[in-house]
A and B are shown apart, each in its own frame.
Chain A
Amino acid sequence: MTLRPLVALAMLMAVLPSGRLAAQDSQFGIPGLGTPGKWESVRARSAGGAFAPFDAFSPLMDASLADVRRMSASVTSGTSWRSIDAVSGADVSLRGTRFPALVITGPLAGRISIGGGFATYLDRSFGIITHDTVDLRGVPQPVTDEVTSDGAVTDLRLAAAVRLHSRLAIGAGFHLLTGSSRVIATRRFADSTNYRTSASRDEVAYEGQGASISALFDVHADVRIAGWFRSDSKLRADVRGRTAAENDLPRSYGAGVLWRPGGQAIVAGTVSWRNWASTGPGAGPNAHDTFNWSLGAELGSASSPIRFGVRGGQLPFGVGTTPTEIGYSAGLGRQFSGGRGRLDLGIERLERKGTGLTERVWTFLLGLTVRP
């Protein structure tokens, strides 16, 4: 395979997802601000997310861009099959294909590298159907309500990194939170002769800003540690030019460690925190601070490694106790065209549990990285 078609493919995928940049939907995101995206490339995600702080093509940290020595682009796609087991008996299977991340980066001058791209900050794609009976004009009237939302809050990132020392690299990024969701609320009446279907349509536009800083430090030739901090402003939701809601966004911080025990083995672990509980009155008592962790490994040569990992943690929105998430993933990569391109495959199994709901997700991941 030559490189040119792959570059074209990467560009095509970058153009295709406009308006559909969601990472992974979840029923747990419906009552809150949304489902947080995973700022990870396929390589990092196949290893449970543990490599994300150290991977220049994962939009988590800016300092890792300092390792990029050539202009490069990477795109991630994922197809998910989701099953929901609700206590109420509403069991259902869902599916969706998303392009959750794109990173373009390259050296600017000397030890400075810049990068940018998009990632999903919050997924707002969902649809629910409910049935009820309301009393209208003295007659019980069965109704069916459907509320759908299609869109996401997208994180557009412009970042720079500099290697200050052979062992230390730092990075900073500016984040523009933008995006929209098309929302439709429909009520259908069983008595369609007398009652017309009511459908409200709108487009909710989101806006916010954020900033991030991060650092990479090589403790040893085989050990690297990472740390990052990110703060975002309020997320404003506008409907028809009117602000419908404003919610504080969480501060995020975390750390990771990477160890190379041998020439063909890399092990990494990451922990992160986000204080979602402060997202304002809109999220209410159902917002929770989250802690997430991941552990992963990459074995084999750099040209065709295999990866596996495990992750766990919490989800920010849910009634009662904080919902939890546990995931297992695996994948492989393959370089081609003399290292100018890399194709990454991965599969991930997630199980989310919260009060009244268990969600299981299979996700097939596909990533393409090119270095023209």
Chain B
Amino acid sequence: MRRLALGFLLVAAACTEEATAPGDCPNFCPGGQIVVQDSIFTTIIERDSSFRGYVQGYQAQAMTAADLAGVQSRALFVLNSMITRVAPKAGDTTTVPIFVDSSRLRLTMVRRNRATTNLWLKLYAIPTTTDSTNSFASLDPYFAAAPIDSVSVSDLLSRPLITDAATLRIWGDTIQTDSAGHVLMTADSARILTLFFDFDTLQAPFVVADSGRLGLGMYVTADSFASATFGTTEAGSDAPSMLWYYHYTIPDTVSGTPDSVVHVSQVRVPKFDGFVFDPPTAPLDSNLAVGGVPSARSLVRVTMPAFLRDSFDIVRATVILVPAAVPAAAAFGSPADSFTVLARPILTDLGAKSPLSGGSGGSVVMHPGSTDTVRIELTDLVRAWATDTSIATAFVLGQQPEATSFTEIRFYSSRAPAFRPALHLTYVKRFPFGEP
């Protein structure tokens, strides 16, 4: 009897079940069916607007130099001031002047057209007073002078890798170099290039009156599609940096031994960096603008139909945008100037100052010159709208990263009935539970 009782308990505990079988429909399936529908909602996007001024060129994570048909752009930066005197002995109030011997500039080219041939980078001296108020026209004369240095990036890339132990010890990696002493280090499968320029005091003069500040402008040329983007201080380690090599003398006022000379170096990064280009970004119009400098964003508001919240489960949502066919508004640049357009949710709708939400949005890569219809997947965002009625049903179109290039795209807005933005939804009708 104890065994029987044990068996009883085992059966009671063994309530595992496998009740799911392949369906043999329609004979042995529930009466209802899972029905999926697909519709393009052409009128639920409305009250869409564009705003400019979110990120200025000097606030961007990169700066672009380009020489393209229809647009010229120059990257530029002004280095922070350098020390001009040092206290040779700790605790001594007496200072001695420093004497700069040479300098090494490091630039990080974060993006370029890899198909471009004969790509040259040329460096020009620009005023140390250069700032965000300078325009392309005001700086153009300085680029008409002789460059202080120039390097063929294409040539450097074709040079053999130097892999000896001494090089690895000094540089920490393999390098490529040319006869002029320019050094190239590559990263991320040669997508990112780090260039080193050695300057003497004629090329990069250390002017005590300017506290060692130095302004440099970058200009690129190539056989075609000359365009390159460099990291800025906002990008952290990709920022330009100048290593000043200098010496000073410690005077010996006690013994008869000669004065000792100390050789040291210090790094300076820019206090200002940015880029100027011509023609300037076109003013906003009735279309939806994304990108440019200062960066423009577009706020797109969606009126969700009530039936989508109540009776349907959205499984895919795609926003459809038609690039505006206005030549002046089309994105321009080289093929390498492609950029990402992000559609990001907002926390609340405050117009131009709507704070962005960390929720999931969508993105698409734009190629300059393309007039193809743009589709951005926003499934997770629209599903969130359907389930949470407290969420603002709007999203912001913005460039990623912003203001690093002159490139801009404009889409037709809801004010253009034939080409207005639309939302393409695929949704599943609620299953008719309860019916046999």
Give A residues with C-beta under 8 Å from B.
1, 5-6, 9, 12-13, 16, 20, 25, 27-28, 30-33, 77, 79, 84, 86-88, 90, 92-97, 125-130, 134, 136-137, 143, 145-150, 183, 185, 187, 189, 194-200, 202, 204, 237-239, 244-245, 247, 282-284, 318-319, 334, 336, 343, 345, 355-357, 364, 366, 368
> What sequence of 0s and 1s flags, for each residue 362-404 of chain B, a beta carbon within 8 Å of any chain A beta carbon?
0000000000000001011001000000000000000000000
> Which of chain B's residues have a CB closer than 8 A to the CB of A87?
24
> How far does the Cβ of A367 sit from chain B's closest Cβ, in whole Å?
9
Asked whether, in the complex, the Cβ of A196 is within 8 Å of the Cβ of B383, the reply is yes
- Considering residues A126, A247, A319, which has the most beta carbons from chain B within 10 angstroms of its beta carbon? A126
9-residue interface stretch from B31-39, B124-132, B412-420? B31-39
Give chain A residues whose Cβ lies under 8 Å from the Cβ of B16. Answer: 95, 97
Query: When the two chains form their complex, are residues A356 and B28 in contact, meaning their CB atoms are under 8 A apart?
Result: yes
Of all chain B residues, the one with the shortest Cβ separation from A343 is B4
Alpha-carbon distance A125/B9, docked complex (angstroms): 23
Is B28 a contact of A28 with CB atoms below 8 Å?
yes
Residue of B nearest to A78 (CB): B11
User: Which residues in chain B, 1-58, are within 8 Å of chain A measured between CB atoms?
Assistant: 1-2, 4-5, 7-9, 11-12, 14-32, 34, 36, 38
The reply to whether A90 and B24 form a contact with Cβ atoms under 8 Å apart is yes
A179 to B280, alpha carbons, bound, how many Å? 72
Q: Establish whether residues A196 and B31, one from each chain, have CB atoms under 8 Å apart when the complex forms.
A: no
B81-125 vs A, Cβ < 8 Å mask (1 yes, 0 no): 000000000000000000000000000000000000000000000
Contact of B436 among A33, A86, A130, A134 (CB under 8 A): A33
A244 touches B22 (CB 8 A): no
Q: CB-CB < 8 A to A187: which residues of B?
A: 34, 36, 315, 428
**Cβ contact within 8 Å between A77 and B436:** no
Q: Given B4, B31, B314, B431, which contacts A31 in the complex, CB threshold below 8 Å?
A: B31
B424 within 8 Å of A by Cβ? yes
Show 10 A/B contacts (Cβ-Cβ < 8 Å), sorted by A. Answer: A25-B19, A27-B21, A31-B29, A128-B21, A129-B22, A137-B424, A149-B30, A195-B426, A199-B313, A366-B8
Shortest CB-to-CB span from B394 to chain A, Å, is 21
Count of chain B residues with a beta carbon within 8 Å of a chain A beta carbon:
49
Chain B residue nearest to A6 (CB atoms) is B5
B431–A247 touching, CB < 8 Å: no
Chain A residue with the shortest CB-CB distance to B377: A194
Q: Which of B12, B19, B28, B434 has a CB less than 8 Å from the CB of A245?
A: B434
Per a CB cutoff under 8 Å, which of B2, B34, B316, B379 touches A1?
Answer: B2
Query: Are B316 and A196 within 8 A (Cβ)?
Result: yes
**Structural contact, A244 and B27, CB atoms closer than 8 A:** no
Q: Is B432 a contact of A244 with CB atoms below 8 Å?
A: yes
B252 adjacent to chain A (CB < 8 Å): no
A194-B379, A202-B433, A366-B11 provided; 7 other pairs, C-beta below 8 A?
A134-B36, A136-B316, A185-B431, A194-B316, A204-B434, A245-B434, A343-B5
Kindly state the separation between the CA atoms of A247 and B436 in the bound complex, as whole angstroms. Answer: 9
Q: Is the CB of A319 within 8 A of B27?
A: yes
Once the chains bind, are B435 and A244 in contact (CB under 8 Å)?
yes
Which B residues are CB-close (under 8 A) to A284? 436
| B27 cross-chain contacts in A, Cβ below 8 A | 31, 318-319, 355-357
Give 10 nearest A-B pairs by CB, closest first: A244-B434, A127-B20, A128-B23, A185-B431, A90-B22, A96-B17, A237-B434, A198-B428, A130-B23, A282-B436
Q: How far apart are A335's CB and chain B's nearest CB, in angstroms?
A: 10
Q: For B430, give its contact among A130, A200, A238 (CB under 8 Å).
A: A200
Tell whether, in the assembled complex, residue B19 and residue A239 are in contact, meaning their CB atoms are under 8 Å apart. Answer: no
CA A129 – CA B4 in complex, angstroms? 38
Tell whether, in the assembled complex, residue B5 and residue A5 are in contact, meaning their CB atoms are under 8 Å apart.
yes
Once bound together, how far apart are the Cα atoms of A84 and B27, in whole Å?
14
A343 CB, nearest partner CB in chain B, Å: 6
Task: Report yes or no: B34 in contact with A198, Cβ–Cβ below 8 A.
Answer: yes
B30 touches A148 (CB 8 A): no
Q: In the complex the two chains form, is B34's CB within 8 Å of A368's CB?
A: no
- Shortest distance from the beta carbon of B267 to any chain A beta carbon, whole Å: 45
Q: How far is the CB of A93 from chain B (nearest CB, A)?
A: 8
Per a CB cutoff under 8 Å, which of B1, B5, B316 touches A195?
A: B316
**CB distance B315 to A196 under 8 Å?**
yes
Contact among B11, B21, B315, B380 with A364 in the assembled complex (CB-CB below 8 Å): B11
A32→B4 CA distance, assembly (Å): 38
A61 to chain B, nearest CB (A): 26
| Contact residues in A for B24 (Cβ distance below 8 Å) | 27, 86-88, 90, 356-357
The answer on a CB contact under 8 Å between B433 and A130 is no
Inter-chain contacts of A25 with B (CB < 8 A): 19
- Docked-complex contact B20 and A200, CB < 8 angstroms: no
Minimum CB distance partner of B316 in chain A: A195
Bound-state Cα–Cα, A195 to B28, Å: 28
The complex places the Cα of A64 from the Cα of B9 at a distance, in Å, of 29
